Amino acid sequence: MPSALDRQGMFVAPGDKLGVIEEFLPGQGTYVDSGEIRASRAGFLLLNLNDRKVTVFRPVEPKGANSIPKPGSIVVGEVSNTHQTYSLVRIWMVGHRHLANFFTGLLHISNVGLRVKNMFNVCRPGDILRAKVISVKNRIRHLSLAGKKLGVIYAFCTNCGSMLKAREDKKLICENCGSIERRKLASDYGAVVL
Ligand SMILES: [Zn+2]
């Protein structure tokens, strides 16, 4: 059974084993049974490496038009694919509202807000990012990361899946395997409560 470290940001189902209490603290959306921490609801696994608390956060039913991402909306989502010049994002949050369904977002390298040649230095699959919707075409939300508050808010090590920590030089380090990676970070990287 893979531990929470290997499943950071991934979808879990009720009853899924997330770890043991010797290793992690049970947080919201979890319960403890015979020393094992399990998911009490379907959602996304988030392990805070600072206090080792495991939580499962979940999309809830949208209420009203504010739940549909439109130009100007600030959205949160998970990167599902990264290519040289663009990334696809599964949007599951608009403003502070969790959504029941995913919307598809597309982030092109020209809308990152930095001069970069490779999207892999901006965001990678599994990362969670905050972006602004700039247009909607064929039901695809085109996204921008231009601005201090926009960018990756949680990133996971490409080698081992652990959450990466931001260093003072803005590079990210994996405390588990020592790997160093780059992303376009939001100013509140690693400190966002979802
Ligand atoms: Zn690692």
Instruction: Identify which has the larger pLDDT, 24 or 13.
Output: 24
In the chain, CATH 2.40.50.140 sits at 65-152
The pLDDT of residue 80 is above 50: yes
Compute the distance from residue 159 Cα to the ligand 1 centre, in Å: 5
CA triple 132-144-60, angle to 5 deg: 35
Compute the distance from residue 185 Cα to the ligand 1 centre, in Å: 18
How confident is the prediction for the chain on average, in pLDDT? 88
In the chain, CATH 2.40.50.100 sits at 4-57
pTM: 0.71
pLDDT at 66 (0 to 100): 67
Residue 83's pLDDT band, with cuts at 50, 70 and 90, is very high
pLDDT at 59 (0 to 100): 56
The CATH code for residues 4-57 is: 2.40.50.100
Mean pLDDT of 67-80: 92
CA triple 172-177-180, angle to 5 deg: 25
Distance CA 32, CA 26 (A): 7
Compute the distance from residue 178 Cα to the ligand 1 centre, in Å: 6
Looking at domain 65-152, which CATH architecture does it have? Beta Barrel (2.40)
The pLDDT of residue 136 is above 90: yes
Residues with Cβ within 8 Å of 178's Cβ and at least 6 positions away in sequence, in order, are: none
